[in-house]
Structure 1
């Protein structure tokens, strides 16, 4: 790979070991593109860049989660931002466990283990009975970080945690996925001159990756053509337009909701309902990359070393879950969900006179709730089986009617 072909000047250069890992992955991707005849669908490129065994961003050893670029991280999530996020989420989790009569938890993509530790601590403090906490994570490096976090923060509860290599056939309890759906591979489509193309990846003469488009074939791309036709009907179909479809996230949602025999599944992520997601003015889609706390839109920079993500289309997620027979428990903004669940009461337990602890906590809560930060962009959607009614966290401000 020519590393200068996709290396924005604003991004810090990786070290030689990381660059060598990225080059190894690039060689593997080039070989797959060649075997496929010179063109690879973008969702397959994204899958390899994120999940290729031992080399992908999430399956390799990148630091990923942290507060600043200097620690080698690329972004920060809500559980890393404040322990009050986990302490607050624990309340609807506890309510769902009690309402469903279940005693197990399962988390997808547990990051550094901060959310798991916080939930375990809060549930134990509230005397909520639970038997086990399972984690599904593809990264061996992250599993080790999770173990270290749990042993350091909740040593008396760490023995209840187990790691799964595959999903159970059925599960009774509460499922949690914080910023999981946005990391699912997406298909890219571009309307150019009034004609829809699927956007894929090819290799240039210098070895660099580049976007390459081919006209959509209704037979080959049948699962996406209905949506593309709807977009033509709903906006100016002469204008160029780039967007994504979310086959992997929809399939994952169906799998989880089918697996859920009793209990609830919470997904927290950034995104929009369909009518906002596919708005005529969103002409470049939502594809975004994160590297050392800098956001940019080039997915070919340092394959395997940067995060590649898109926003979540929540209407499709809701439909996928309901198709399995699960109930849609609720859908609302992160701010409304956390306020309903009592985050301000949790903050009030810290003495304002103790400025060393109170001010950072208040600043973090402001970021979690503010419309200009995470409060509005992030949404919470939940599905259930065997729970009558809704939960307190969705009792006010539910937006299910907007899906």
Structure 2
């Protein structure tokens, strides 16, 4: 059993204030478990530890994004690795704005604000006019960081940026989500002895532990979508192996909401994951759930709740289905490496002088991480939906993998 008292030897110990905040969150979760009859589904637990007001990982004040553990961060994202990520992404964004005749941008969960700042500056350099850049952000601490970063990097252009507490009912323009879908709560399912159980969270000796329940046990029911998914997994890989996996109703619901909101324009999501045929693979017996703390990955979701990130890889087939169900067009689906190369990242790198090692080598190393199959290039994918755009974006012109969804 995984317990919240477990501290993997390889992970740094949080300071006293952070541990106190985590203990306060654990107390709230224990109370909620008791009120629910002794068990919470894992997606509810994940929602609480990530987004509980003031105490959750994303809604609290802890630093999250950065390059090194010593700066107090837990992971690095593509916009933090290199400004060429935003500069390159500006090309398909500009094409989508012009093709749809729209002048607004929106980003979900903008991290430190580096992607927003880079896009604003790059679009201005391309001569692409836009009226506003809206950021949907739940964390007050991250809003403050974003504002500081954007003002420092984008100067007067930062006056076009505004922050929203929720999605609008309708939006026309280009919407962006970089590593947003993987942070959506997931349900966990475990098949043991050929029988599926839903994996939830209970308490034992005041510690948080996993507890599995069979459908029908103590009133537990499965949605039609989850029942169909589990049956499909059985049919695909058989029932002779024990298996743990996730389902992605929250990410699919978010995609559906965004694509319903979209009047004209495009919605692009960049994240790590697989199409369904690769996601639910016989060799992926342990699922994809992963925790990140001080740039170290581990598998214990009960390690100091609220102080670490908990994620799961994205099942992109379900994301594609959710978007298309709204009537939006699937623009394309491809690897991050192919998308960035199609959009011109190697041309941007080529503008630097390779003989100037001090400037060139750090940029080249960062681009290598963005493109390499062994780093982010293959694991990360880009999927896009559109309305009112004729034809495909050039960034999906070569290497589109929509047929794999």
Q: Same fold (TM over 0.5)?
A: yes
Identify which of 233, 237, 240 aligns with 1:238. Answer: 240
In structure 2, the residue matched to 1:17 is 17
Supply the distance in 2 between the matched residues of 1:226 and 1:402 (Cα, whole angstroms).
20
Deviations, residues 370-391 of structure 1 (Å, cap 9, x unaligned): 0000000000000000000101
- The answer to whether the aligner puts 1:221 opposite 2:222 as a matched pair is yes
Structure 2 SS opposite 1:7 = coil
Structure 1 SS opposite 2:386 = strand
Supply the distance in 2 between the matched residues of 1:219 and 1:351 (Cα, whole angstroms).
62
Supply the distance in 1 between the matched residues of 2:182 and 2:258 (Cα, whole angstroms).
16
Tell me by how many angstroms 1:5 deviates. 2.4
In structure 1, the residue matched to 2:300 is 298
Deviations, residues 36-93 of structure 1 (Å, cap 9, x unaligned): 0110000000000000011100000110100010000000000000000000000000
Superposed, which structure 2 residues align to 1:227-306 within 5 Å? 227-306=229-308
Residues 273, 279 of structure 2: 8 Å contact kept: yes
Residues 150, 158 of structure 1: 8 Å contact kept: yes
Tell me by how many angstroms 1:172 deviates. 0.1
**After the TM superposition, which of the residue ranges 207-216 and 219-228 deviates more from structure 2?**
219-228
In structure 1, the residue matched to 2:85 is 85
In structure 1, the residue matched to 2:95 is 95
Supply the distance in 2 between the matched residues of 1:161 and 1:144 (Cα, whole angstroms).
13
- The answer to whether the aligner puts 1:314 opposite 2:316 as a matched pair is yes
Superposed, which structure 2 residues align to 1:129-278 within 5 Å? 129-205=129-205, 207-217=206-216, 220-223=221-224, 224-278=226-280
Residues 4, 302 of structure 2: 8 Å contact kept: no
Structure 2 SS opposite 1:43 = helix
Tell me by how many angstroms 1:401 deviates. 0.4
Deviations, residues 8-37 of structure 1 (Å, cap 9, x unaligned): 010000011111111111111111001001
Superposed, which structure 2 residues align to 1:6-85 within 5 Å? 6-85=6-85
Residues 272, 314 of structure 1: 8 Å contact kept: yes
Note closer, same or farther for the CA distance 1:54–1:216 as it changes in structure 2 (3 Å cut). same
Normalising by structure 1, report the TM-score: 0.98
Supply the distance in 2 between the matched residues of 1:53 and 1:356 (Cα, whole angstroms).
44
Residues 250, 316 of structure 1: 8 Å contact kept: yes
- The answer to whether the aligner puts 1:350 opposite 2:349 as a matched pair is no
Tell me by how many angstroms 1:3 deviates. 8.6
Supply the distance in 2 between the matched residues of 1:16 and 1:222 (Cα, whole angstroms).
41
Tell me by how many angstroms 1:97 deviates. 0.2
CA RMSD of aligned residues (A): 1.2
Supply the distance in 2 between the matched residues of 1:174 and 1:102 (Cα, whole angstroms).
8
Structure 1 SS opposite 2:70 = helix
Supply the distance in 1 between the matched residues of 2:119 and 2:404 (Cα, whole angstroms).
30
Note closer, same or farther for the CA distance 1:4–1:193 as it changes in structure 2 (3 Å cut). closer
Tell me by how many angstroms 1:241 deviates. 0.4
Residues 256, 326 of structure 2: 8 Å contact kept: yes
Supply the distance in 2 between the matched residues of 1:221 and 1:25 (Cα, whole angstroms).
28
Note closer, same or farther for the CA distance 1:348–1:23 as it changes in structure 2 (3 Å cut). same
Residues 3, 302 of structure 1: 8 Å contact kept: no
**After the TM superposition, which of the residue ranges 170-179 and 219-228 deviates more from structure 2?**
219-228
Supply the distance in 2 between the matched residues of 1:219 and 1:324 (Cα, whole angstroms).
30
Supply the distance in 1 between the matched residues of 2:4 and 2:141 (Cα, whole angstroms).
28
Residues 137, 163 of structure 1: 8 Å contact kept: yes
Supply the distance in 1 between the matched residues of 2:390 and 2:368 (Cα, whole angstroms).
33
Residues 289, 307 of structure 1: 8 Å contact kept: yes
Supply the distance in 2 between the matched residues of 1:350 and 1:235 (Cα, whole angstroms).
49
Deviations, residues 355-374 of structure 1 (Å, cap 9, x unaligned): 11110000000000000000
Normalising by structure 2, report the TM-score: 0.98
Supply the distance in 2 between the matched residues of 1:219 and 1:284 (Cα, whole angstroms).
23
Supply the distance in 2 between the matched residues of 1:243 and 1:146 (Cα, whole angstroms).
34
